[in-house]
Amino acid sequence: MWASPGSSGLSNPSRTMVWPPSWLSHMAGLTGPEADAGPVRVALDWATGLLREELQFTWWYDGDPQVIAAWLPTQRARIAAFSVRHPRCKTAADALIAVGRLRTAAIARGCTRTA
């Protein structure tokens, strides 16, 4: 069950989620060079998992992989900036490739909402 950002979700807090998922918003809102390493690592892992159709949400009740697929391209500029600051970081380079391929796959499927 999704709740609007202003609702408390107190009727069943364990099964109410705020849209967009607050943990994605939280991660995207972290600032500073140290905070950029987290999205780089999860972008590589999640984008690769989506491309291989292996992304599992055993840790997220009622998880929808398309939420992650829509969120990852929004982090591309951040990943690219990290990659420029750390040119020898293979994880950042691979994350950019994976997010790019995820976007290409979305376009090929006819999805028009890509960043």
Report the distance separating Cα 59 and Cα 56, nearest Å: 8
Give percent above pLDDT 70 in the chain.
68
Amino acid letter for position 82: F
Amino acid letter for position 97: I
pLDDT band at 17 (very low <50, low <70, confident <90, very high): very low
The total domain count for the chain is: 1
Question: Which residue range(s) make up the domain with 59?
Answer: 22-108
pLDDT band at 71 (very low <50, low <70, confident <90, very high): confident
In a domain, 6, yes or no: no
Of 94, 97, 50, 95, nearest in space to 69 by CA? 50
In a domain, 94, yes or no: yes
pLDDT above 90 (res 60)? no
Rg, the chain, Cα only: 15
Which alpha helices (H) appear in the chain, and where do they start and end? Answer: 22-29, 33-51, 65-71, 76-85, 90-108
Ranges 8-12, 63-67, 76-80: which has the least confidence? 8-12
Q: For residue 7, which phi and psi values (nearest 5 degrees)?
A: -85, 150
